[in-house]
Chains A and B, each alone.
Chain A
Amino acid sequence: MTKSSLSSSDEKSMKPKDLVLAVFLFLVLSLLSVPHTAASQRAAVDDCVSCHEEQVMSFKDSIHGKKGFEMLAGRACETCHGPGMEHVNSDGDPEKIRSFDRMNPGEKSETCLFCHDKGDRMYWIGSSHNLRGLACQECHSIHSPKSKEALLSAEDGYSVCFRCHKQKASQFYRASHHPIREGKMTCADCHNPHGTESPRLISSQPINEKCYECHAEKRGPFLWEHQPVREDCTICHDPHGTNHFKMVKTRLPYLCQRCHADGGHPSGLYDQSQIESRRFFNRSCTNCHTAIHGTNHPSGHTFLR
């Protein structure tokens, strides 16, 4: 490019005020191009009640009823279902209104995200549940909620999860489990089903920081740290429940021997002949290695103190 062509180009370049004008015109045109719904296309709530009384009354009683009817939206049923007059005038033709039965999962969720795309739902788009084609309505029921909170379509949060996660449902009947079936915890205490920035929808990163919320004594840091303990609690424990003491994945001493198989007493065979060995009996390895999660004791490098 020559010098002259550069100067020529500069002379023709857009000035700042032109840029502002162009942006302004673009915004005005954009606003004008937004389809506006004429008042005549709108239906009144009374029109909806005449056919859908049960749904409208349950909606009015719900949190959406408070916000939708009286506060933010002001458009009642039409906030989610769109203009309804055509549907009313056509004697309830379901094709003439935004019916969730005819929407794909993405469209269903998009309706909810119009208001809820924030807070704990901010990572829904791209989350594993989103990518597996789930919609908000798989777990929530706007018109017939069964739960006290969160408009869930089952009485308890975990019942919703267990519809798909059958193996996890079974695990909570194990002898060693977190108190889910006793009603003291829910799946959402550890997972955020709406999406997280961490794997497995765990609502903190990494998983250990979630465990420390209730088990802060394991947090340390300690003078002596046990490497797998620091890296990931789930190397040894299955938090959904196991049949083994303290939710460990397999029975002690065999769990410890998955790593400590390299000689000395940790790699001994604890078969029927060893049933009364202090290394097998009672708490097995942790009869002696009591501070297995880490210790501050100067003589604690093998977690005996």
Chain B
Amino acid sequence: MKEMKMKKLYIPFLAFGIMLISTSLLSQTEKKEDLRIKQEASMGAQFVSGDQRSSKFYEYRDVPNDFIFDMFRLSLQKKDTYFLFDAEKIRQDDARYTFNLGTYGKYDLSFVNEKTPHRFSFEGKTLYIETAPGDFRLADPIRIAAENAQNDTEARSFISGFLAGAHSIDLELLRNKSTLDFTYHPIVPVSLNLKVSRELRNGTRPLGAPLGSRNIQELPEPIDYKTTNMDVHVEYTKNWGTIRAGSNVSLFENDVQVLLWDSPFRITDMNRNSARGRSSLPPSNTAFHFYLNGFFRMLKTTRLNGSVSLGSFSQNESLLPYTINSALTADYAGALESPAETANAKAHISSINLSISSKLMKNTYLSAGFRYYDFANKTRILDLEGGYGQYDYRWVDDQLTMEPLSFTRSRLYANVFFNLLKNAGFNIGYDISGIERKGHAHEETSESKEEDKSTEGTFKASVDTHLNDWILLRLSYVKAKREWSLEGIRDIYLPDFKFKRFFQADRDRDGLNMLVDLSFVENFSLTLTYMLGKDRYPNSEYGLLKDDFQSYSLDLSYAFSKVLSLYAFYTYEIYDGEQASSRSGARAPRDTADDWTAALKDKVDTFGSGLNSTFLDGRLHLNVSYTYSKTAFTSDFYSPPGGRPDVAENFDKDLDTTILHIFATSIQWKMIDSLSLVIGYWYEQYELRDVIRNYWGVDYLELGGSIYLGALEPDYKYHVGYLKLLWSW
């Protein structure tokens, strides 16, 4: 309690101290010539009240119920030299601090430290104790008793009895990123830039940890990541063009690469029931690129753009053994060993882009180019001849060969732009893009290693016109056709089973975008937009068959006078997908009665309105805004009778619906030129109606032998009020 009081006192004292020191220091220097000093500070008190604590409200932000010191800005300028210190949300979990120093046209040095929370749930609970990073243990007596139970039902019931004693865990992640950015112009055509950032990510997030298909233990995955990125480049600019050469390095370090956990049901290993589970977490890795970018003015009206990049991704972390279950050595003697000491994984990456932009004739322009990207996976191929350990549960003696996936993307495009009429531009373009894949596998096939290519031709046309002062029209149309190289040549499955992965399958695409901006009356603007997207997979009878969307929006803004302006917007979107599946698949005996289809729809309404007003000769500002967003996800399943499934049982309500209301208002009163008082209020309400997410609980032992974290994100209604003083001097 005493600590809390001290903490509360700390913030206003800190604020007062900074302002006092900076004011007294600067008042001495202010007398010197040409030094311009600006300071701003905002501090006050914030009151937060909610019906229940929800991680969703705090997902990416900190909303303290406390004294707040939400801004301090100090700007010094002498001739062309400047210094800026900008602090936002001081001492909060989402704070941002910026230091900036430089001389215009000479150099600029900035340092930014930014924190971003990501809260998953305040509700999570677990029986596990993390004895070392990534090592989750359960008390031995529980496991012994469960192992000795007469049957599964008794074991589950026994474990279930302990779950009331599960302890709370904090499921959140904090990103803390510091970035140093230095730009130097030693002489006019040359600039050098160095950018270094280091981000620490610490916390936990929910992760499934299965020990068999009916024994899923959800755990708080420990996150201890460090990412260091560095980019350095030099740029040279002359009348003939610009050239930039540089390189970047990215180092990702994960301090916890192994997840270990106890089975609640056993303390000794056995075939088809492991005492422990072990999984790998993301390996540390490195990326490197060297690049050369630039453009050249070849003729007065023609320029050539280009970029070349060479690089690599690599990681060589230790490999875990196939399994932790010692009982599986009976099936494969090497089950407790690794197939190799380290991963030896690497990929070579290269890209080339070339484009030309040219004025062909008066009011006619051409833009054309070529793009190429190659991901050549050079990871060492491992032959896992003995099979593998499935879930640490059982040994599967299927021979596996790890085949590295490589791909090459290419794109050839041309656009012609006509400016035939005054204030009207027409654009027509065509591009051919492709992705060539090597080394991936279609499971269930013996000849699984393939090479294939998806090639897409896209026609684009657009019109952008300011017909007159009060109407702006933007219209664009896209038609694309994608073809898969293996279509009709070789069926992956049985000849009558027309199934392809949707991201590589034949596809017909149509798209239309329209925006009309009308300003009939001075200070009035009405914007209408319409978007349509249609994807069809004409040669697929299973998997994704259709993926459409439409969006309508309306925006209004009107400034009645200098003292009052209003705005409102509404957007309606509908996402409409259809897919089909076959329970019996390509296996014989294949039965189409096992098929089923799903029509899935997301419907979204987003509405907002607000006003900005100024009274008393600009001394009083009022802002009011309201936003509403509702999303509903519905499904419609069908299955012909007689198969497996027999008939589809549709959900009797939407699978999920979320509603968000945000109302905010503030009044700012400028008491004197350097001091303003701000009083504000903000209300936020979130509702989630989900067939499962409202019911996430810890105990699902009765249903399948699993224990979850119960990481709910409950509905909330939060009221936030604040009173702040804004100084500028």
B244–A122 contact, CB under 8 A?
yes
**Chain A at the B interface: SS class:** loop
- On chain B, the residues within 8 Å of A27 by CB distance are none
B558: interface (CB < 8 Å): no
In the complex, per-residue mask of B137-157: 1 if CB is within 8 Å of any chain A CB, else 0:
000000000000000000000
**Which of A169, A182, A251, A262 is B94 in contact with, Cβ under 8 Å?**
A182
Shortest C-beta distance, B101 to chain A (Å), equals: 15
B375–A170 contact, CB under 8 A?
no
B400–A301 contact, CB under 8 A?
yes
- On chain A, the residues within 8 Å of B178 by CB distance are none
A254: interface (CB < 8 Å): yes
- On chain A, the residues within 8 Å of B86 by CB distance are 148
A200: interface (CB < 8 Å): no
Q: Which of B125-133, B344-352, B480-488 contacts A (4 or more CB under 8 A)?
A: B344-352
B298: interface (CB < 8 Å): no
Also in contact, A117 and B242, with CB within 8 A (given A63-B104, A169-B571, A283-B208): yes
Q: How far is A267 from B580 in the complex, measured between Cα atoms in Å?
A: 9
Q: Which of A11-19, A92-100, A212-220 contacts B (4 or more CB under 8 A)?
A: A212-220
Shortest C-beta distance, A120 to chain B (Å), equals: 10
**Which of B225, B338, B606 is A170 in contact with, Cβ under 8 Å?**
B606
Minimal Cβ-Cβ distance residue in B for A294: B282
B555: interface (CB < 8 Å): yes
B415–A131 contact, CB under 8 A?
yes
Q: How far is A300 from B285 in the complex, measured between Cα atoms in Å?
A: 18
Also in contact, A131 and B279, with CB within 8 A (given A167-B553, A174-B631, A278-B704): no
- On chain B, the residues within 8 Å of A104 by CB distance are 419, 423
A67: interface (CB < 8 Å): yes
Near B by CB (< 8 A), chain A positions 275-305 give: 275-278, 280-283, 286-288, 290-291, 293, 295-301, 304-305
Near A by CB (< 8 A), chain B positions 350-378 give: 351, 353, 355-357, 365, 367, 369, 371, 373, 375, 377
Q: Which of A31-39, A80-88, A223-231 contacts B (4 or more CB under 8 A)?
A: A223-231
Minimal Cβ-Cβ distance residue in B for A295: B280
- On chain A, the residues within 8 Å of B542 by CB distance are 261-262
Near B by CB (< 8 A), chain A positions 99-137 give: 104-106, 117-119, 122-123, 125-126, 131-133
Minimal Cβ-Cβ distance residue in A for B86: A148
A259: interface (CB < 8 Å): yes
Q: How far is A275 from B390 in the complex, measured between Cα atoms in Å?
A: 26
Near B by CB (< 8 A), chain A positions 57-76 give: 63, 66-67, 70-72
Q: How far is A244 from B577 in the complex, measured between Cα atoms in Å?
A: 15
A197: interface (CB < 8 Å): yes
A55: interface (CB < 8 Å): no
B582: interface (CB < 8 Å): yes
Q: How far is A293 from B221 in the complex, measured between Cα atoms in Å?
A: 15
**Which of A133, A263, A272, A304 is B586 in contact with, Cβ under 8 Å?**
A263
Minimal Cβ-Cβ distance residue in B for A232: B503
A272–B405 contact, CB under 8 A?
no
Minimal Cβ-Cβ distance residue in B for A285: B208
A281–B280 contact, CB under 8 A?
no
B437: interface (CB < 8 Å): yes
Also in contact, A197 and B307, with CB within 8 A (given A173-B660, A263-B586, A299-B323): yes
Also in contact, A268 and B583, with CB within 8 A (given A126-B367, A170-B553): yes
Q: How far is A280 from B346 in the complex, measured between Cα atoms in Å?
A: 35
**Which of A175, A220, A273, A277 is B649 in contact with, Cβ under 8 Å?**
A273
Shortest C-beta distance, A164 to chain B (Å), equals: 6
A217–B583 contact, CB under 8 A?
no
B529: interface (CB < 8 Å): yes
**How many of chain B's residues have a CB under 8 angstroms from any CB in A?**
167
**Which of A174, A224, A273, A275 is B629 in contact with, Cβ under 8 Å?**
A174
B116: interface (CB < 8 Å): yes
A41: interface (CB < 8 Å): no
**Which of B199, B339, B389, B462 is A132 in contact with, Cβ under 8 Å?**
B462
Q: How far is A145 from B382 in the complex, measured between Cα atoms in Å?
A: 59
B493–A258 contact, CB under 8 A?
no
Q: How far is A271 from B577 in the complex, measured between Cα atoms in Å?
A: 16
A25: interface (CB < 8 Å): no
A225–B404 contact, CB under 8 A?
yes
B524: interface (CB < 8 Å): no
Shortest C-beta distance, A26 to chain B (Å), equals: 14
B560: interface (CB < 8 Å): no
Minimal Cβ-Cβ distance residue in A for B553: A166
B76: interface (CB < 8 Å): no
A281–B319 contact, CB under 8 A?
no
Q: How far is A17 from B285 in the complex, measured between Cα atoms in Å?
A: 59
A243–B586 contact, CB under 8 A?
no
A243–B252 contact, CB under 8 A?
no
A269–B583 contact, CB under 8 A?
yes
B134: interface (CB < 8 Å): no
Minimal Cβ-Cβ distance residue in A for B285: A219
- On chain B, the residues within 8 Å of A123 by CB distance are 295, 305
B60: interface (CB < 8 Å): yes
**Which of B213, B287, B637, B692 is A212 in contact with, Cβ under 8 Å?**
B287
**Which of B105, B209, B464, B604 is A133 in contact with, Cβ under 8 Å?**
B464
Q: How far is A282 from B697 in the complex, measured between Cα atoms in Å?
A: 9
- On chain A, the residues within 8 Å of B635 by CB distance are 254
- On chain B, the residues within 8 Å of A213 by CB distance are 229, 250
A271–B651 contact, CB under 8 A?
yes
A300–B280 contact, CB under 8 A?
yes
- On chain B, the residues within 8 Å of A286 by CB distance are 208
Also in contact, A166 and B529, with CB within 8 A (given A174-B629, A182-B60): yes
Minimal Cβ-Cβ distance residue in A for B435: A231
B531: interface (CB < 8 Å): yes
Minimal Cβ-Cβ distance residue in B for A213: B229
- On chain A, the residues within 8 Å of B250 by CB distance are 212-213, 216, 219
Also in contact, A184 and B60, with CB within 8 A (given A122-B293, A212-B250, A272-B651): yes
Q: How far is A93 from B402 in the complex, measured between Cα atoms in Å?
A: 75
Q: How far is A293 from B691 in the complex, measured between Cα atoms in Å?
A: 26
Shortest C-beta distance, B354 to chain A (Å), equals: 9
Also in contact, A243 and B633, with CB within 8 A (given A221-B347, A261-B543, A281-B700): yes
Minimal Cβ-Cβ distance residue in B for A195: B305
In the complex, per-residue mask of B308-337: 1 if CB is within 8 Å of any chain A CB, else 0:
010001110101111100000000000000
B415–A282 contact, CB under 8 A?
no
B303–A301 contact, CB under 8 A?
no
B645: interface (CB < 8 Å): yes
**Which of B476, B501, B573 is A228 in contact with, Cβ under 8 Å?**
B501
- On chain B, the residues within 8 Å of A243 by CB distance are 602, 604, 631, 633, 656, 658
Minimal Cβ-Cβ distance residue in A for B462: A132
- On chain B, the residues within 8 Å of A269 by CB distance are 581, 583, 596, 637, 639, 645, 648
In the complex, per-residue mask of A189-225: 1 if CB is within 8 Å of any chain B CB, else 0:
0000000011100000110000011101111111111
B411: interface (CB < 8 Å): yes
B700–A278 contact, CB under 8 A?
yes
- On chain B, the residues within 8 Å of A280 by CB distance are 692
Shortest C-beta distance, A22 to chain B (Å), equals: 19
Shortest C-beta distance, B371 to chain A (Å), equals: 7
Shortest C-beta distance, B374 to chain A (Å), equals: 11
Shortest C-beta distance, B626 to chain A (Å), equals: 12
B655–A251 contact, CB under 8 A?
yes
B668: interface (CB < 8 Å): no
**Which of A125, A258, A267 is B585 in contact with, Cβ under 8 Å?**
A267
- On chain B, the residues within 8 Å of A167 by CB distance are 529, 531, 551, 553, 571, 573
A-B contact pairs, 29 of them (CB 8 A): A104-B423, A126-B369, A164-B529, A170-B551, A170-B573, A170-B629, A205-B373, A220-B285, A223-B319, A223-B402, A225-B377, A227-B437, A230-B407, A231-B437, A242-B602, A243-B633, A257-B543, A259-B503, A261-B542, A261-B582, A268-B583, A271-B648, A271-B650, A273-B649, A278-B216, A281-B700, A281-B703, A282-B218, A297-B320
Q: Nearest 4 A-B pairs (CB), nearest first?
A: A263-B585, A126-B357, A217-B282, A216-B252
New A-B pairs, 8, CB < 8 Å, besides A296-B315, A304-B391? A70-B80, A126-B305, A179-B60, A221-B314, A221-B379, A223-B345, A254-B635, A257-B598
